[in-house]
Amino acid sequence: MANDRVFNFSAGPSMLPLEVLQRAGAEITNYGGSGMSVMEMSHRSKIFLKIFDETQEKFRKLLGVPEGYKVLFLQGGGTMQFGMIPLNLIGKTGQADYAVTGHFANLAMKEAKKYGQVTIAASSEDRKHVYIPAQEQLKLNPDASYFYYCSNNTIEGTQWQYVPETGSVPLACDMSSDILSRPVDVSKFGLIFAGAQKNLAPAGLTIVIIREDLAGQELPITPAIMNYKSMIDKDSMYNTPPCWCIYMLGLMCDWLEQQGGAAGMEKINQKKAQMLYDVLDNAKLFTVSAEKGSRSHMNVTFRSASEEMDAKFVAESVKAGFTNLKGHRSVGGMRASIYNAMPTEGVEKLCDFIQKFDKEN
């Protein structure tokens, strides 16, 4: 890495690959001989539409999006989807199932309650969200319009290691913090969404992958900007899309392709996570927050026996050249977010630091 860069373990917005930033930097004042930045282009111009279409194509290829699904590039963050999903999908039967496995799934569930009858199909609240419920534990309502879950719980550090089986009830999944970190079979889902700022691009872009037949059943109160059908009909350009973020996603897609796509990325991510969990499991000072079998490959949450020791660890980590290792304010402890762009070298350095700290304290 360029030696003025820090190893940034931020949960989001998160680090981007240096090569991607350098390419964006090189093109920032004059993209492709146009004499302007992508930030300055009309979203309807030929030159931008080419970026848009190519990014769509690259993204579809990387994730393996089949025919019959539309990829939307929207704004509003993951949070807007918490409202947009029920507004558009709950109308079918008026009911929806939610698996509440963490902070963001809980927010989504609360939002959905405004628009229909919500059943908690599963919850891990009994043990502070340190595990993912098993398939047998899901209480499925066959009349649900959809089953909602969050595949990676960014704050708690847990990740679904299976795709729930829900019969004919479509799955709606928040993949904000693990999209393209591993392969997924998109055909098993009705809808996937992800705020881009964890694993893919700068903040401001939200990607929605929707099975087209699910759109068009929105509640009458649905704001135009939150209507999947209008966004599908206008190819994400009902209003101005987040142009520069879409361009950045395109650069990131090229980089992901070089890493071997989703399958290649999964191998790298598995190795990084395993390395870190091994060091933490063998340390005398630290315990991993998430239970084995539910541990996230993206957000590694851990803590020592006391808040004082946690604070000491965080303070010394900053001096050692790491940033953002403090856990989310709602759970405390530490969190190392090791998304796609975190190089293996960064995790190795962190492992060395943890071992040294463990010996000296």
Binding site for L-glutamate, residues? 44
Residue 96 or residue 279: which is nearer to ligand PLP going by CB?
Answer: 96
Residue nearest to ligand PLP (CB): 77
Does 79 contact ligand PLP by CB under 6 A? Answer: yes
Residue 336 or residue 354: which is nearer to ligand PLP going by CB?
Answer: 336
Residue 12 or residue 170: which is nearer to ligand PLP going by CB?
Answer: 12
Q: Which of 9, 59, 69, 104 binds ligand PLP (CB under 6 A)?
A: 104
Does 174 contact ligand PLP by CB under 6 A? Answer: yes
Residue 78 or residue 333: which is nearer to ligand PLP going by CB?
Answer: 78
Partner residues linked to 211 by β-bridges: 69
Q: Which of 64, 77, 183, 216 binds ligand PLP (CB under 6 A)?
A: 77
- In the annotated binding site for pyridoxal 5'-phosphate, the residues are 78-79, 104, 154, 174, 197, 239-240
Site string for ligand PLP, 7-36 (x = CB under 6 A): -----x------------------------
Does 304 contact ligand PLP by CB under 6 A? Answer: no
Does 78 contact ligand PLP by CB under 6 A? Answer: yes
C-beta separation of 198 from 357 below 8 A: no
- Which residue, 12, 17, 6, 7, is CA-closest to 249? 17
Site string for ligand PLP, 186-225 (x = CB under 6 A): ---------x--x---------------------------
For 357, residues 6+ apart whose C-beta sits below 8 A from its C-beta are 285, 313, 316
- In the annotated binding site, the residues are 44, 78-79, 104, 154, 174, 197, 239-240
Residues that bind ligand PLP (CB under 6 A): 12, 77-79, 104, 150, 154, 174, 176-177, 195, 198
